[in-house]
Structure 1
Amino acid sequence: MTPSDGTPDPFAEPLAFGQRMQILRERRGMSRPVLAGLAGKSPSWVKQVETGKLQVPKLPMILRIAEILRVRDLSDLTGDQSMSVDMFIGPGHAKLPAVRDAINLFPLPGNREAPTLAHLRARLDRAWSARHSAPNHRDVVGGLLPGLLIDAQLAARQADTAAERRAVQSLLAEAYSLSQFFLAYQPDSSLLWRVAERGMVAAQESEDPHAIGAAAWLLAQAHRDAGPRNFDAADEVNRAAVDYLRPLLPDADDRTLAIAGALDFELGYTAARRGADGEAWGHWDEARRKARRLPADFYHPITSFGQAIMGAHAVTVAVELHAGGESVRQAAKSDAVTIPSRPRRARHRIEEARGYQLAGQVETAMATLEKAHKAAPETIRYNGYARRIILEETEAKSPDRRQRAARLADEIGLLAA
């Protein structure tokens, strides 16, 4: 596609850093004052950088701007191919090709006899358990997914009755949900979208409220993670699922109630990304009300929703609102609660680290990232925010801080990126 004459291509040479920053900012629909506020600078500073009156910022500020503008590859902002670092996309996992092949394969009904529904259910439960307990969950889940996806697709094609077909479609939708966790932050966004859409189709075919809610939860996340232009689409999917589930909640089982609570929080998450403070906390409150209706030890295998996760969700809202002091306050409140899932616990530590950095407590942020690495090395390896904080610290003035960041960068494979 050829760019229009009126909109320069930020990835074409020889645009200066400031020009690239302005084009990317405008494509995000972001004003100079907004970018300045998020970066901790003045609108005048932003203007002077964009017009070339100030020199290119140092690496920590470049990384901060890259995060604010959701730049995927650092070289897209700098124009320097030697700085080609994927900010929000992790490395491709070794088992990605096998998972991709299984997703693309459609077994015909007569190839062989499909496993029973009970057998598929047991395998799927084991896969979820492995995801939450393994420090490198993609290694384990990536090995289980190909066979599970193929067998679930085969079972859907061999179902004899309408009831059996609906039950298998519910399991297939859940297998696609598991696939999205494996594919997240990997360099194949088209495959992620294919899985998200197939998961929603299978869920609708199942007529299972829980499956529909879970598929909508993941589809809304896919829209939101695609950037601000897709926030409305994320909310549309999210609200449709909330409206669908609302009349079912008085008699809902714990799983369906948890999905409804998780969807409430996702509305708050998107609102926080927009900077809508009151709306974000309002949705968080509604999610907390639903969490309190669940047993204290309940933990939803897909969304991680339950009472134990609400403190972590509060940290996320505060961080997305760029409220450093509130982020630290919420982190202190939530720290005593143990999140059962290793990857979800690591993600929470990363959100805490973002909050500490916002509050200027950089050493605490690094210590928290080290805790995230201990909980689930793979989670931090694939997380763009963690990568950005670590990269910033490799340029710190303090030799001790630089060395600490360099060690962690080496452990997660960032220096080889």
Structure 2
Amino acid sequence: MAPDRSGRGRSQLSLPSATGSSVSDIGRRLRQIRNARGKSLAVVAGLAGISPSYLSRLESGHRALDRRSLIMALARALDVAPTEITNVALALPGEAEEDRSLGAVRLALFAAAMHAWRGRVCGVDELTDRAEHLLEQQRQCDYALVGARLPDLIDDLHTTLAAGRDQREVLRLLVITHVQGTQAWLGDIGASQDLGWQASTLAADAAQRLGEPAYLAVSGFGTAFGLIGAGGFDLAERVLHDTHPGTAGNTELQMAGMLTLTRSLVAAAKGEQGERAAALDHADDLARHAGEGNALWFGFGPSNVGVWRMTVALEAGEHAEAVRIASTVDPNALPSPTRKSAYWREYGRALARMPNRRDEAVLMLRRAERISPARVHRHPFMHSVLSELLARARDDAIGRELRGLAYRAGLLS
């Protein structure tokens, strides 16, 4: 599953019972699918490579189902798509301000894919200004504004390209807008992975026409993320292996770093420890040479590598290691609110699985939520993490903070 990215239906959970238990939507769905398949705990657990008691805790919400590799293993054991397990834990479109634009963005993507141009022909300077402003607002987590402006920008970029105006400049804008704007926005608000894939496909088409290594790398990153979100780790690995931005300039160096970080995530999901470590070490080396940067809006640099190291450790189930890494990262050095929110969210996810550190976990998650509610409420693993925390919540200040966060995320009625 992609580190961040589905806005489909979910059921509501009631307040914790007197025993302190609270069943996560993902856990409930997992149990429903297993029962519908007529498979016992022991059979499914054996096929997934875990113990029956651990599977029972996942189903009850006492353990968070927050690893892509485990979701894939359970999906294979149950003979279902991964989204059958995870989609019920994601927010419904229409519940937040940014969702109001989802329909218009969807239609703009459909129109672009159909070559049904419906925008206006614009000058490249105007399109550049609009794209840069939108991408900056995406970095600032202003998802309502991004969503409001995306449909017209998508329409106008594709219409201008079809008119033959400033083609190379417009192709560059299309690649970066669809990966760093459209696909990223759709992921952050929890929209359908299929829409994100459509955005990455449009970016890939533009990158192939352009043929420039740096923009092919941007497209490769977007394509790989779409494949990771669908559980296509081998396909993502192939895309990353075949994408070579080089290191001729600082932009290419930073893009090589981002692709290397993505390889480390794929390796973690596949359980390839040696490849994961080698990729992270290589990314560290590239970051030292590149310095803190923001080429093509990726924010690659030493501090961002630290956040990726946390995410990769979490994917590998190494929560203590993620906590250790967090202590080495200066969140103030992170290049944007999106990365700061990711840092606090991943820190909270890690602490949630550490003995006697759940209060700290709640405080870290609240910091992430204050920066970007959507990146906590809509993240595909957060409902499971919050449910695990709720199962052990006390009737104190931290417990009230947690229940408030869970309510805003749609977990409590």
Measured against the shorter chain, the TM-score band is: 0.7 to 0.9
Does structure 1 retain, via aligned residues, the 8 Å contact 2:127–2:153?
Answer: yes
Q: Secondary structure of 1:168's partner?
A: helix
Specify the SS of the correspondent of 1:304: coil
Distance 1:194 1:326 in 2: 35
Instruction: State the 1:87 CA deviation.
Output: 5.7
Match of 2:371 in 1: 375
- Alpha-carbon distance in 2 for matches of 1:212, 1:56: 40
2:242 partner SS: helix
Judged with a 3 Å threshold, the aligned counterparts in structure 2 of structure 1 residues 89 and 152 are, in CA distance, closer, same or farther, namely same
Q: Is 2:147 aligned against 1:146?
A: no
| CA–CA distance in structure 2, aligned partners of residues 211 and 337 of structure 1 | 29
Amino acid corresponding to residue 319 of structure 1 in structure 2: L
Is 2:109 the partner of 1:103?
yes
Quick one: which amino acid aligns to residue 129 of structure 1? E
Cα deviation, residue 214, structure 1: 0.6
| Residue equivalent to 2:92 | 91
Q: Give the Cα–Cα distance (whole angstroms) in 2 for the partners of residues 131 and 86 of structure 1.
A: 24
Secondary structure of the 1:398 match is coil
Query: Counterparts of 2:242 and 2:233 in 1: how far apart (Å)?
Result: 14
Contact 2:108 2:154 in 1 (8 A): yes
Distance 1:111 1:371 in 2: 41
**TM value normalised by structure 2:** 0.79
What's the RMSD between the two structures over aligned residues? 3.3
Q: Which has the higher contact order (CA 8 A, sep 6+)?
A: 2
Aligned to 2:62, the other structure's residue is in SS state: helix
The letter for the 2-side match of 1:255 is T
Are the counterparts in 2 of residues 87 and 388 from structure 1 also a CA contact under 8 Å? no
CA distance in 2, matches of 1:231, 1:270: 6
Deviation at 1:386, TM superposition (A): 2.2
The separation in 1 between residues aligned to 2:177 and 2:392, in whole angstroms, is 43
* Alignment correspondent of 1:245: 245
Q: Which residue of 2 aligns with 1:331?
A: 326
- Paired amino acid for 2:159: L
Contact 2:46/2:52, CA 8 A, preserved across alignment: no
* Displacement after TM superposition at 1:340 (Å): 2.7
Which of 212, 215, 219 is the aligned partner of 1:215? 219
Structure 1 residues 306-317: aligned runs within 5 Å: 306-317=301-312
Give the distance between the partners of 1:68 and 1:108, measured in 2 at CA. 37
> Whole-Å Cα distance in 2 between the matches of residues 350 and 280 of structure 1?
22
Cα displacement string for residues 85-110 of structure 1 (whole angstroms, at most 9, x for unaligned residues): 84664432221001011111249799
- Indicate the percent of aligned positions where both proteins have the same amino acid: 21
User: Relative to structure 1, is the Cα distance of residues 261 and 327 closer, same or farther in structure 2, using a 3 angstrom cutoff?
Assistant: same
2:411 is aligned with 1:409: no
Q: Which of residues 179, 184, 187 is equivalent to 1:181? A: 184
Q: 1:410, 1:110 → 2: CA distance?
A: 42
- Secondary structure of the 2:228 match is helix
1:279 corresponds to which of 275, 279, 301: 275
Which residues of structure 1 form unaligned runs of 5+?
1-8, 36-42, 50-54, 78-83
Which structure has the larger Rg? 1
The aligned amino acid for 1:358 is: R
Could you state the TM-score of these two structures normalised by the residue count of structure 1? 0.78
Contact map agreement 2:137 2:143 (CA 8 A) in 1: no
Which deviates the most, 274-283 or 111-120? Answer: 111-120
Deviates more, 1:365-374 or 1:268-277: 268-277
Structure 2 residue 315 is matched with structure 1 residue 320: yes
One-letter code of the match for 2:108? A
2:134 paired with 1:131: no
Contact map agreement 2:120 2:156 (CA 8 A) in 1: no
Counterpart mapping for 1:181-200 below 5 A: 181-184=184-187, 186-200=190-204
**Which segments of 5 or more consecutive residues in structure 2 lack a partner in the other structure?**
1-30, 79-84, 94-98
Q: Secondary structure at the match of 1:216?
A: helix
Aligned length: 366
